[in-house]
Structure 1
Amino acid sequence: MTKRMGYRDWGWLALWWHHFFLLWSTIDGQTRYTIPEELKQGSVVGNLAKDLGLGLSEIFDRKLRVASEAGKQYFSVDAGKGELVVNERIDRETLCGQSASCVLPLQVVIENPLQLYRIEVEIRDINDNSPNFITKELTLKIAESVVVGRRFSLESAEDPDVGSNALKYYTISKDECFSLKVKDLSNGRKAPELVLEKPLDREKQAVHQLLLTALDGGNPVRSGTSQITITVLDVNDNFPVFEKALYKVSINENSPKGTFMVKLKAIDIDDVQNGKVKYSFGERTPNAVLSIFDIDSDTGEIFLKGELDFENAATYEIDISAKDNGTPEMEGQCSVQVEVVDVNDNPPEIIFTSKPSPLREDAPSGTVVALISARDLDSGNNGNVTLQLPRHYPFKLKPSFSNNYAVVTSGVLDRESFSEYNIEITATDSGSPPLTTKKTIPVSIIDVNDNPPKFTQSSYDVYLKENGLPGSTLSSVSASDLDFGDNAKISYSILDSKVQGVSVSSYVYMNSDNGSIYSMHSFDYETLKVFQILVQAKDHGSPSLSSNATVHVFILDQNDNAPAVIYPSAALGSLSHQKMPRSAKAGHLVTKVTAVDADSGHNAWISYKLAEATDASLFNVNLYTGEVRTKRAVSEQDDSSQRLLIEIKDDGEPVQSSTVTVAILVEDGLQEPILDLRQKAPEPGKKSGRITLYLILSLASVSMLSLVTFFILAVKCVRNSRSSGSCCMRLDDLDGYNNPNRNLQIQLNTDGPIKYVEVLGGDMLSQSQSFRSCLSPMSEFSDFTFVKPSSTTDFKEMINVLDASLPDSAWTFESQQVSSEWQLIVTIMMFECRLFSDV
């Protein structure tokens, strides 16, 4: 039959919910809620997101979760509403027993960044348990001789509820011989006692039936009953009496089995069997006590039977009964209070509230690595825990609250030095001896692009033969990066620069993966002798880092140019015509063959050889100077027309050569112009006088220009000395090629038979403008040749101009006559060129 809820019931329910919503509060900066026990699953405890100041989106994004220290997950978070809800049935009596306060601590963990909140949920007791008697039917045997006022202890009811819902009072059914008294014990319990109000008369009533009722203070009131049957006995009218009503014993929790605890003593003044006492545990002693303690029924000695654990139970209340052998049987009672002394037998525990996450190596000091807590089940100093980290690690512990800590960074992290840390946390309690627990936290360091690529060399020197095949490998550069992954992946490139006014990328290209440099075409030493390539190594990090290196490419000369004949020039035809008198003596200079080679070094050493001759006995060619002289005096029998084929070779490998044909006409009565010129040298003619005058004027002009230049240079040095404190001419200004506007190169070649000085001006990487003085010390006269520029093609063009402007004989004559003056002028001009380049 269903009972409808009346107006009074609805009122009580409304009042209960009113108290429920008024009781949650925040204490000492911690969020605290108060709820009644036995709430249904899914019931709302409170709006956790609002109370913690979090948005609903943060609950999911930051992975909010709730951890309970009670072992079970009694609560969970509704991610959609941010509410803390009941996850399973909560029984306050199971959680807290008879404790007056029942607070369930919770830890709220939020990630990104890591945060830890502590909330408390107070579980309020509701009157869901009725007082209960373990023994539903109790039988007492009372002798009729018992005096009025004697008290008999009855079984106490147990009510798991606390506060107003706990057991409040007892009642007993009406009986004229008995009344009920409630005794307040030291531990706050109430023990019912049956008091004899009138003497018993077995003949009138041998059995008394009483109903003992226990009531709590809840609303509505709950109760429990026990049926008491009293049998009235006769004869034995004295009961055993203990020396103490309460015995107190202390024993260490690590005491071994069989340890003696206490000896009880009860005295019965009756005689013989009525005074002989047997000891035993009370009838209502729990099995948990019986499994740990044992009593000697004859002596009253109590021994330790099982194992004690302070963390499970700190005290025990044991009821002891002493019964005699009389008829009827009489008994006395006492209590033994056992206090378990805590021993440091539990090592500390380290609990990860949040697992560690990888750290970037540029993480600032104070970055949270993990959240941990420490606890020790022991009490007092045995439960005080101290945590320590290794000293040489860049981490430290930051206390939070209630044995909670945050592991944070305390220094600079460098993945290249340590890519992973195994942080060993040591927890030590304050017991004697102290117990220690260690736990390791692995922390991975995430790489950051903080190291640029580094070349194996800051500069590279490459020597390359000219006329190489296009696409051949010039060099290979290599760089390394200490970072990891894409931050260490390197790409190579060539930075744009100019070589002879053209981008360097038109000369070479580079493999971006392995750093190999390849030629785009073959190189010509006579056009380009040296150039540089600026290469860059760049990693794939974000942002990317790079470094540069310089590759110096030196072109090595190869013998790829044949000697070019300057005189006699090919512009006059393949045949050179010369005249000589038939009166010429031995050693007569007929002509001089002059050739140059665009190569350098040994490849430019030239030698002359008479390959064919009409009369080989008449003429001789100097191996080094190319002078054609008579080997003997010319006779009347010699042909008037002589033909010579002269071969010109260089000293390269392979040898390059060229030939020139000289036709000599032998005439009678022709004077030797060179000898006449020597005789007339002290009396210069009009033409030589004009040349001398021109030379003097040129020398005076150059001297004046030198004075002006020295003056300008002195002013510049004074200005520079004020700013830099020095004024000097450096060797690298002469030899370097980095500053094309200040470069002047003077090259002196003394390797071969023909000595020459080469003056190069301008950028060495561009087309050089050169002035070459070819001196033949082995000739009879010092010959001077003025050539610009220094290439085989330009040599030929210059000879064409010279041959077109001067007669064949006049070229030889005038060049011989003014050689010494021109050598002096060229020397001064070379010095002036250097001064002007500095200015």
Structure 2
Amino acid sequence: MDAHWGPAVCLVVLVRTWALVSGQVRYSVPEEAKVGTVVGRLPQELGLEAGDAEARRLRVVWQGRRASVEVSGASGALVVSSWLDREELCGKSAPCSLRLEVLLERPLRVFPVELEVTDINDNAPLFPAARKNISMAELTTVPGSRFPLEGASDADIGANAQLSYTLSPSEHFTLDVKSPDENRKLLFLVLTKALDRETVPVHRLVLTASDGGRPSLTGTMEVVISVLDVNDNAPQFSQSVYKVQLPENAAEGTLVVRVNATDPDLGPYGDVIYDIDTFEPASGSDLFSIDTKSGEIRLKGSLDFEAVTLYDLQIKAMDKGLPPLSSHCSVELEVLDVNDNAPEVWVTSLSVPVPEDASVGTVVALLSVSDRDSGANGRVRCWVWPPSPFGLESRFAGSYSLVLREALDRERVSAYEVEVRAEDGGQPSLRGSRGVHVPVSDVNDNAPSFSQAVYTVLARENNAAGAELARLWARDPDEAENGRVSYSVWEGGAGATSSGVGWRPASSYVSVDAESGRLWAVQPLDYEELQALQFEVRAVDAGEPPLFGNATVQLFVVDENDNAPALLPPPGGGLGLVPPAGQVVAKIRAVDADSGYNAWLRYEVWEPRGKGPFRVGLYSGEVSTARALEEADGPRQRLVIVVRDHGEPSRSATATLSVSLVEGGEAALSGAGSQSSSGLGVLLPAEGGFSAGAASSSSNVWLVVAICAVSSVLVLALVLYGAARCAPRAAVLSGPAPATLVCASEVGSWSYSQRQSRSLCVAEGAGKSDLMVFSPNLPPPPAVAAAKDTSHPEPSALLDTVSSPLVLSSPPPFFPSNEINASFLASLQHFHLSSLEDCKTCRLWS
């Protein structure tokens, strides 16, 4: 402000001068003068003395304004007391005069004073706003368009308020200032060049206003021109072609690619929406989806290299303008193969069943093998599993023949389950397979075969006609007609009969059912007529030509106890002396037409009961004195002898023996008999009637003859036994089992077995048990160790041969009935092996 004091002092002088002329005190002070600045010396103006101002209390009274000047103390000078702002006090009014009243007391007087506040250039031009925003549409706003601007204002007056305007440099805008009058100026912003929002979206200009003060003050306003967008740009992709590779096993939801398109426009004009325009091939529409906002393309299905290897997607990006603008790009998706397909095996031709006599190299089936994968994943190797008579031969790529490598045998394997396996070359490799059922057709290459070459059949005599004897079965492993077996009796011979009848065909005794192989009796069998029968059964299949097999059947008739013992006529003779105790006086002879156990006879004294003078040998039938005869016994004795067999139930016959004591050297024997009983008479001479030496001599002769005969038979038996062991046995009587062995007592009855027995053993001791075993030609029994009594010597070799039937644990499976088996085994259990130890002499009967 010091620079303004010079003019101010001059102004004060002028005011004073003016005041003196007009008679009113006028002062002038510049605005913003410092506090304490002397505006004027009122005492002097009012003609007061220097000390009167304070004494008379000189002061300034403002009219409705705050006091900005005051009278200073003793000097009475009018000084600035507070900040003076002309713009605040007077605004734009010019001049700015303030009316003051100077009050003087003692005496009270009022003097008007006019104070003019002069303007200084203390206010810069001021725009209504620091920023002016203007919006202009690109392209549509043509050059030359004018946009009004508000000018600045300056609180100063006069030259300090004279404003001039300038605009910052711009190639698009200029400033046009119009002055309709001196106090008003109109400002226009003029567009000189078309706008492009994408080039310069916002133009920032500075409008400057300068006043006419010295120095000049300026004010500025920022003019912001926002270029409004129009939809003049289509979205642009970052790439015209996106190339992507995905494995075919990519999971659903996998990100394929993210396309990106940009639109330089703003707002909806720059918002891009993505869409898949076209699919190549069209099946891709089910596999891909795109996010309309982000442009992410994802899988929504499963890829399959074997179906499609390349997908071409045309992607469209479109903005939201009206009308919308769009652009396109291409996404090329290459599907990479993975080993996800196992090899496939197909049977294109199958020639089954294969005859079992087919030659090696016969083609059974044609196979096709393929793998939908490519490269190593699609290379396939094949083989047959499990190892079988079949193999593979490659015809050309992917085609194989299943051929026969070995001869077939339907009876060993009737059908083959062939598995053709294929494996590809992937990592890891995959396998495929195809099962081929190859049945083998039958040819008639097997004859019927019986389970046994020789069947031994036991048949009870007196069986009913039509009774089943056994069931024969022949196996033919062929099938259908080739394996359907029919049976027939192939004539053999029958054994000799007791009636003397010669050879008779086997069909007169037995027959076989053609379908079931059931062997049955044509007529009841009589053991006394037929003991053994051997014949063949033939099994013939229905093949073409038919094949057959034979089996030998050995039929043994098991004796039934159907004959009672029969007494033989007694021989003549007598004793000359009164017999001492133990003397044989008679011999009862009887035979039984049955065989074996049923023909084994025993003798008992039936009458008299108690202790009589006579006794009978249990098995010999010899009647001997039990003690010396006495006169008290009477001249005549009557004995009733019962002869019983061992059958079940047993049969018997009775013989009546009359013993008379007579005088003289002649004894007579008389008797009578019938089928059920017979009578015998024995005359015992009185003392001195016969010579004891003659009787003894006769007995010794017969004893020597008997011993020689037995010895001869024993030697003959040993010779025949050795020959039988070395040479094949006869058809009917051959077999693994030995001949029947019968042991009887000392002079035992052997006459019952003259026709049936095979061997006879005679042992001493009338009270010892006998052994009788019937052994047909049975299969060898299982080896069982026979119990052996170490206290006795080993039996002879001949006796060893009969031990095996005694350890037979169960009947053969071909026995005709359990009834016969039980009867046969029961008869075996009756005898004791220990009885063999008592045998001293044996005779072999042919």
- Give the TM bin, normalised by the shorter chain: 0.3 to 0.5
Q: TM-score, normalised by structure 2?
A: 0.42
Q: TM-score, normalised by structure 1?
A: 0.42
